[in-house]
């Protein structure tokens, strides 16, 4: 096989990938959001489809073309993402949570646009916790033997934070990225350390998001039953 071309080792498999970043509305025109572009999740969806999988891509606020041969489900908020992931995961062999999920959402939604009030300080925004989708899927495993993968962006202590997060979430693999002001968000390239619940550590050198995606599917494939 030519370099970069994989065996169709995901034929007959259904994989679910989340991508992008959730947005939590304050009113009809404003939201709390994050800088995730969705490129890593789309690379995961494309490479899985190229390897023969049936792919459900759950896209949160992305501005990218639908990958060919992939079922794309568009959602906005973390609560909507949870619904879509749980639905798609019921018969999935693997679930990869590449989306950046808002940890909190505004407690209240104003049905009309929030207005300034003359001479008054703004009201504080009260936040409540969002559901932890990765922890829930990892605990429930809607399909027995399902492989669950998380992503984590860390700014420091990448290994220690990554190990602790892997245990806390209960997933099989955690892809840990080191991020900073100019790293990863919106870029075409990525560098990561993939931690396994079995104690494995797979460093992925700086390179295209497609290359990291292929390594994730390699690590998923050997764990599929
Ligand atoms: N995730 C999720 N649901 C959430 C938050 C995160 O499913 N409410 C998933 C993300 O999709 C990602 C993984 O969990 O795959 C790790 O996200 P991260 O934000 O690093 O984890 P947190 O537990 O939220 O930790 P932190 O306090 O560092 O943000
Ligand atoms: Ca978080």
Instruction: Delineate the domains of the chain, giving CATH numbers in brackets.
Output: 14-103+123-221 (3.40.50.10300)
Contact by Cβ (8 Å): 225, 145:
yes
Binding region for CTP:
103, 113, 131-134, 151, 165, 169
- Which stretch, 116-125, 130-139, 189-198, has highest mean pLDDT? 130-139
What's the pLDDT score for residue 190? 82
Res 58 pLDDT > 60 = yes
Q: Could you give the CA distance from residue 19 to residue 214 in angstroms, rounded to a whole number?
A: 16
> Tens of pLDDT along 13-23?
999 999 999 99
Q: Is 174 in the pocket of ligand 1 (CB under 6 A)?
A: no
Q: Is 61 in the pocket of ligand 1 (CB under 6 A)?
A: no
Contact by Cβ (8 Å): 16, 92:
yes
Counting residues of the chain whose pLDDT is more than 90, the rounded percentage is 86
- Tokens representing 47? 């490479």
Q: Which of 36, 41, 105, 134 has the most ligand 1 atoms within 8 A of CB, as the residue to mutate?
A: 134
Q: Is 150 in the pocket of ligand 1 (CB under 6 A)?
A: yes
- Tokens representing 182? 């100019």
> Which of 82, 97, 76, 78 is closest to 15 using CA atoms?
97
Instruction: State the average pLDDT over residues 155-176.
Output: 95
Res 3 pLDDT > 70 = no
Q: Could you give the CA distance from residue 210 to residue 190 in angstroms, rounded to a whole number?
A: 9
Counting residues of the chain whose pLDDT is more than 70, the rounded percentage is 95
Token pair 């994730």 is at which residue?
216
Which residues are catalytically annotated?
A: 34
Q: How many residues are given for the chain?
A: 225
What's the pLDDT score for residue 89? 98
pLDDT grade for 191, boundaries at 50, 70 and 90:
confident
């Amino acid at each position: 096989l030519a370099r970069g071309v994989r065996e169709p080792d995901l034929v007959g498999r259904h994989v679910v990938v989340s991508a992008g970043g959730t947005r939590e509305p304050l009113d009809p025109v404003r939201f709390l959001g994050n800088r995730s572009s969705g490129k890593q999740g789309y690379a995961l969806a494309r490479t899985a489809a190229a390897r023969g999988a049936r792919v459900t891509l759950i896209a949160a606020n992305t501005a990218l073309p639908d990958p060919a041969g992939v079922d794309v489900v568009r959602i906005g908020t973390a609560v909507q993402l949870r619904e879509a992931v749980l639905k798609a995961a019921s018969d999935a062999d693997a679930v990869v949570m590449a989306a950046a999920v808002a940890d909190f959402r505004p407690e209240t939604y104003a049905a009309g646009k929030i207005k300034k009030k003359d001479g008054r300080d703004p009201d504080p925004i009260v936040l409540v916790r969002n559901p932890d989708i990765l922890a829930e899927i990892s605990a429930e495993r809607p399909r027995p033997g399902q492989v669950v993968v998380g992503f984590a962006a860390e700014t420091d202590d990448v290994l220690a934070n990554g190990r602790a997060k892997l245990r806390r979430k209960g997933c099989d693999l955690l892809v840990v990225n080191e991020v900073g002001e100019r790293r990863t968000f919106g870029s075409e390239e990525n560098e990561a350390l993939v931690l396994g619940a079995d104690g494995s550590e797979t460093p992925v050198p700086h390179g295209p998001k497609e290359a990291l995606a292929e390594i994730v599917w390699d690590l998923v494939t050997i764990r599929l039953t």
